[in-house]
């Protein structure tokens, strides 16, 4: 399965058009939040409709800059992984949207305690006999994927604990624009593709329990 992970579109439809060739080659496209830039349902719909022009299969979680109605729209379209599990080709795809509190208030934020509760609920939905892939907007704590310019790690400790316990093959994240890269937590590859609006995307090739992931340069 070839997966393209994109994040932080922030309403830039032209970024999707620029990535059309890449998206059309994927078996699955995953959007890891900030689909809009403080947008509403109609803004999300225009972005998702454009991605659907090029993608064979699509799932998403909302980001901190997406209002709650964006998450509701994803659910109505049956493409939401926020607190959900979808089984595709014998892989369990699970997800959590939103972020930790930001320096400026955004519409979709949670505390560490909230994330811990949501991840505990998510555990109940993971099939025991399938490898899983985690899709989040907030990156987990303590990798290059949550490192801000000050040198501080700003990821979620609750997400990190979940990864250590459940050992997903791969975690797609986003949110921290300057922290694009690939890292590991135990056996889990963690990737932040960087903002699609700046040309960032992640490419993963997955077969059984073999994972190859990279962030190509356009």
Using DSSP bridges, classify how beta strands 28-32 and 2-6 pair: parallel, antiparallel or unpaired: parallel
Residue with tokens 């997966």: 3
User: Which of 22, 29, 4 minimizes the C-alpha distance to 203?
Assistant: 4
Average pLDDT in the 46-61 region? Answer: 97
Q: How many residues does the chain have?
A: 218
Enter the CATH code of domain 2-214: 3.60.21.10
Percent of the chain surpassing pLDDT 90 = 94
Average pLDDT in the 174-190 region? Answer: 97
pLDDT digits (tens, 9 = 90+) for 72-106: 999 999 999 999 999 999 999 999 999 999 988 99
DSSP category for residue 147: B
Percent of the chain surpassing pLDDT 70 = 98
What DSSP line would sit under 110-145, residue for residue? --HHHHHHHHHHHHTTS-TTS-EEEEESSPBSSSGG
> What pLDDT band is residue 217 in, cutting at 50, 70 and 90?
low
Of the listed ranges 54-58, 174-178, 211-215, the least confidently predicted one is: 211-215
């Amino acid at each position: 399965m070839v997966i393209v992970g994109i994040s932080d579109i922030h309403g830039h439809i032209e970024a999707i058009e620029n990535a059309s060739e890449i998206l059309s080659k994927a078996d699955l496209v995953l959007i890891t939040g900030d689909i809009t830039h403080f947008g509403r349902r109609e803004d999300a719909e225009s972005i998702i409709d454009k991605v659907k022009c090029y993608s064979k299969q699509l799932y998403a979680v909302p980001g901190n800059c997406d209002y709650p109605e964006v998450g509701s729209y994803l659910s109505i379209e049956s493409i939401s992984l926020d607190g959900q599990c979808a089984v595709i080709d014998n892989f369990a795809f699970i997800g959590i949207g939103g972020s930790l509190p930001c320096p400026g208030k955004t519409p979709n934020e949670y505390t560490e305690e909230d994330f811990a509760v949501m991840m505990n609920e998510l555990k109940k939905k993971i099939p025991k006999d399938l490898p899983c892939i985690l899709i989040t907007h907030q990156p987990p704590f303590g990798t290059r994927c949550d490192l801000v310019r000050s040198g501080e790690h700003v990821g979620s400790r609750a997400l990190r604990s979940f990864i250590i316990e459940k050992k997903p093959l791969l975690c797609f994240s986003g949110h921290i624009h300057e922290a694009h890269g690939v890292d590991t937590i135990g056996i889990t590859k963690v990737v932040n593709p960087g903002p699609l609006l700046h040309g960032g995307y992640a490419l993963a090739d997955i077969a059984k329990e073999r994972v190859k992931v990279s962030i190509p340069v356009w």
